[in-house]
Amino acid sequence: MTDQDLISKAMESRDFCYCPYSKFPVSAALLSKSGRVFTGVNVENASYGLTICAERVAIGTAVASGEREFMAIAIVVKNGGSPCGACRQFLNEFSPRLRILMADENGKLVRETTLDKLLPEAFGPHSL
């Protein structure tokens, strides 16, 4: 699975984003160590604060399928924005050195980094 393949998987989910309030679709594709891909989309709610981000949906789906180790996540968002703080923390639980691929709404890779750069000195399972 190439980086561009992973971005394509995230692009394929983009139509499924449920964002009637923000009208700001975010989709993600998470690659597990075993080579499986799990997608996620943002799911908003009439009670706005209950909204869940695409990244956390992807992690939840993967964990529910028995995966706990991840190689990379591709995130598709307008202009290729980076994951929110809550999602950084959520991703850190499983893969602190996860590769993060940020792509724009056309599926073009805008930036690549790793989670430890986005969330330095993280609080994680080993902090307890």
Among 7, 30, 38, 55, binds ligand THU (CB under 6 A): 55
The residue (of 48 and 128) whose beta carbon lies closer to ligand THU is 48
Residues with Cβ within 8 Å of residue 6, at least 6 apart in sequence: 29, 31, 37, 72, 73, 74, 101
Nearest of 56, 57, 111, 54 to residue 79 by alpha carbon: 111
**Active site positions, annotated:** 55
By CB under 6 A, what part of segment 77-96 binds ligand THU?
A: 83-84, 87
Applying CB under 6 A, the residues found at the interface with ligand THU are 19, 22, 24, 26, 42, 44, 51, 53-55, 83-84, 87
